[in-house]
Amino acid sequence: MKTTVLIGLCATLLGAPLIARQQYAQTITLGKAIEVALERNYIVKQAENNVERDQASVLAAYGNFAPSLSLSSGWQGGQQFINGVAIGNSDDRSVSASVRADVTIFDGFSNTSSLSSARSTASGTEFTLSRTRQSVVSETQRRYYEVLRTRRLLEVARLNLRYSSQQLDRVRETARLGSASLVNVYQQQAQVGQDELSVVQRESEFAVAKANLSAYLALDVTQDADFNDLSIPSEIDSTEFLRQKQQTADLRALVSRAMEQRLDYLSSRQSLEATTANVTAARANYFPRLSAGASYSLNGRTQRDLTGLKTASEFENLGNSKSFGWSVSLSLPLFSGFQTNASVERALVSRSNAEEGLRQTERTIQVEIKTAVLQLDAAEKT
């Protein structure tokens, strides 16, 4: 009775009857929930942004092999003054334009290592994105099944309460006729109280499960969403359990297959390859660097005759003076204040950490597979 009064009071204060909320509830199937999760989940969006970032790094790494090209131009002029008076026909103007290209011929394998690292990193983030999507799908399924489970438990609790209430009515009638004692009535009343408490607890668990799923799907938790999917079987027959057990009988084969297909493991391997390439790139500073360049320029100046009159502007004379130059440079680093040593050590540490991360991923996969097999066995027994 108190629970009914509280529910009615809350509905009145919120200005919306609970019946009306249920009437306009949105029904979301498991497939729809997965679709919404992949579309709205912020972790997936972050992983997609990381893929775009690392793909841009790959393009930049390819650019290290291409020559750099620059274009410059200038325009300048001057005027002579004597005692603050400008000398006629003394202004001199010039214009220039030049283009220059530089290319790295050898940089100690830094460019090739940077490209290898960028490509491995990009591949790793793509694997991470796919793994993130798998994790989001798995987590959505888990939360969705939790909603269905708590709903089923709530239905069972309500059935138990209805049955115990009917039993209480029968015990009371029997006691009134003298065929039962008050002890039986009190015992049944206690059972009804326990069943009422169980209903309240199951209602709370069901509401929390729905709220958690709605929040994970980035839905408005103030709106009542109905999660229901008739295509999901309520029970699994023994044939399905037998088929699953046959597929999971060989634990070593499962682990071996996971090492070939698990995207998180493939991502860790790509991270290791990227850090290995970074070690080579850091050691590139020990090698000499060879580069070449070429330039081409045009110049033009104001042209005057013997009397000082302008006969052609600097723009008209642009191209009368041309020049072409080329250069080849070789540099050998002798001492860099131990900066190269520090870079190599940092790269080696990063590679060691990547190796440890790969081994930890292997252990995690083994534990997850073993746990899943044990949970499957326990589910069959229960």
14-29 tens-digit pLDDT: 343 333 334 335 789 9
Q: What is the pLDDT of residue 21?
A: 39
Within a domain: 32: no
How many separate domains does the chain show?
Answer: 2
Domain match, 297 and 270 both: no
Q: Nearest Cα to 104, choosing from 330, 378, 352?
A: 330
Q: List Cβ neighbours of 171 (8 Å cut-off, separation of 6 or more).
A: 180, 184, 185, 188
Domain that holds residue 279: 235-288+335-382
Within a domain: 100: yes
User: CA–CA separation, 65 vs 9, rounded Å?
Assistant: 73
Domain match, 382 and 345 both: yes
Q: What is the pLDDT of residue 11?
A: 37
Domain match, 319 and 345 both: no
Residue 380 CA, chain-centre distance (Å), reads 35
What secondary structure does DSSP assign to 340-381, as a single string? HHHHHHHHHHHHHHHHHHHHHHHHHHHHHHHHHHHHHHHHHH
Average pLDDT over residues 172-176: 83
For 292, other C-beta atoms within 10 Å of its C-beta total: 14
Name the residue with higher pLDDT: 69 or 316. Answer: 69
Domain match, 310 and 341 both: no
The enclosing H or E element of 146 equals helix 110-176
Q: What is the pLDDT of residue 25?
A: 53
- Structure tokens, 207: 């509401």
**Position 49 confidence tier, pLDDT thresholds 50, 70, 90:** very high
Within a domain: 192: no
Domain match, 314 and 253 both: no
The CATH number covering residue 70 comes to 2.20.200
Q: What is the pLDDT of residue 130?
A: 95
Output Rg (C-alpha) for the chain, integer angstroms.
Answer: 39
Work out the mean pLDDT of the chain and round it to a whole number: 84
Average pLDDT over residues 155-172: 92
Whether residue 51 has pLDDT greater than 50? yes
